[in-house]
Amino acid sequence: MKSLLICLVLLELVWLGNGQSRDHQPLAPAFFVFGDSLVDSGNNNYIPTLARANYFPYGIDFGFPTGRFCNGRTVVDYGATYLGLPLVPPYLSPLSIGQNALRGVNYASAAAGILDETGRHYGARTTFNGQISQFEITIELRLRRFFQNPADLRKYLAKSIIGINIGSNDYINNYLMPERYSTSQTYSGEDYADLLIKTLSAQISRLYNLGARKMVLAGSGPLGCIPSQLSMVTGNNTSGCVTKINNMVSMFNSRLKDLANTLNTTLPGSFFVYQNVFDLFHDMVVNPSRYGKMTSIPIYKGLLLFLYISTEF
């Protein structure tokens, strides 16, 4: 279900990437990726979990499943290409060992969330906290040895791009699953968004303390438009999406945007970018014909449903 979402984001990045020559120096020395299934490039293939994408039709445009929850390349693959870097290898894969780590590492893990408990019903997943610990290990055990002195390492980290795409699972695989998680009994929608942002803020500060400076924070997409949520409501709204859930996600997104602004000024030397993923996807759901090959909403939903059923258990 998420696969199609990712691939849609790609379209935009491809457009952004046009005109960028590959022959030039990379725009950044490295790209470090944190997040969930939207950007997992295969980490979950290495851990005992039900949240895996190592089978057909995933990877159909690659020619084989890679662990990406997508038919082809994910948004961060296109991002890496745009930066002039190779595709970022998963932390848990042998591909990220040695010199390769110098160009960046992908820590994203399907089913992961901002909160540690998020996605636990899938089995193992590397939580965002766990991913930050893996980044710390990368710096100490894999990267430090390539630098003459700590100042050079700091400069390299400060110039690197840090992509963070986390939070959707804290809704769809936590708050919106009252039979498995108690958060919706404890927190109102607003309080929950506050909790997520407060937790995320501390996590980002941890990344900053490790040397991260240039961070891209991707907001959540319109989760009220995905089949798993649509299947739980009776009746239908003309927009084809569950408004209540979209409103809930928007509370998170508006706070995330504020957080990007705040940290941008309070953390010296930092540079934050907030990525508005919600409006882009929402427009794709509402106006699919604007996006070329997606000819109609029924086909789009049918595909999502197919992918959803194939990953659900």
Residue located via tokens 């050079």? 152
271 binds ligand NAG (CB under 6 A): yes
Output DSSP code: residue 163: E
Site string for ligand NAG, 72-111 (x = CB under 6 A): ----------------------------------------
Taken in order 264, 277, 120, 59, is the CA torsion positive or negative?
negative
In contact, 229 and 245? CB cutoff 8 Å: yes
Q: Is 148 exposed, middle or buried (0-12, 13-18, 19+ CB in 10 A)?
A: exposed
Residue with smaller CB distance to ligand NAG, 152 or 190: 190
Using alpha carbons only, give the angle 220, 216, 312 rounded to the nearest 5 degrees.
35
Min dist CB 8 to ligand NAG, Å, is 22
Stretch that binds ligand NAG, among 106-114, 122-130, 235-243, 280-288 (CB under 6 A): 235-243
Distance linking the first and last C-alpha atoms of the chain: 13
237 binds ligand NAG (CB under 6 A): yes
d(C-alpha 285, C-alpha 152), whole Å: 46
d(C-alpha 246, C-alpha 250), whole Å: 6
Contacts (CB under 6 A) with ligand NAG, residues 114-173: none
Min dist CB 237 to ligand NAG, Å, is 4
Min dist CB 108 to ligand NAG, Å, is 22
Q: Which of 100, 184, 254, 264 binds ligand NAG (CB under 6 A)?
A: 264
Min dist CB 244 to ligand NAG, Å, is 5
Output DSSP code: residue 106: B
Helices (H) and strands (E) in the chain, counts: 11, 4
d(C-alpha 282, C-alpha 288), whole Å: 10
How long is the chain?
Answer: 313
Residue with smaller CB distance to ligand NAG, 81 or 264: 264
Q: Which of 38, 260, 277, 284 binds ligand NAG (CB under 6 A)?
A: 260
251 binds ligand NAG (CB under 6 A): no
Q: Count CB neighbours of 178 within 10 A.
A: 11
305 binds ligand NAG (CB under 6 A): no
CA atoms within 13 A on the CB side of 16: 13
281 binds ligand NAG (CB under 6 A): no
302 binds ligand NAG (CB under 6 A): no
Min dist CB 61 to ligand NAG, Å, is 30
Residue with smaller CB distance to ligand NAG, 209 or 243: 243
Min dist CB 262 to ligand NAG, Å, is 9
In contact, 217 and 166? CB cutoff 8 Å: no
242 binds ligand NAG (CB under 6 A): yes
Stretch that binds ligand NAG, among 133-141, 142-150, 229-237, 283-291 (CB under 6 A): 229-237
Contact positions vs ligand NAG (CB under 6 A): 233, 235-237, 242-244, 260-261, 264, 271-274
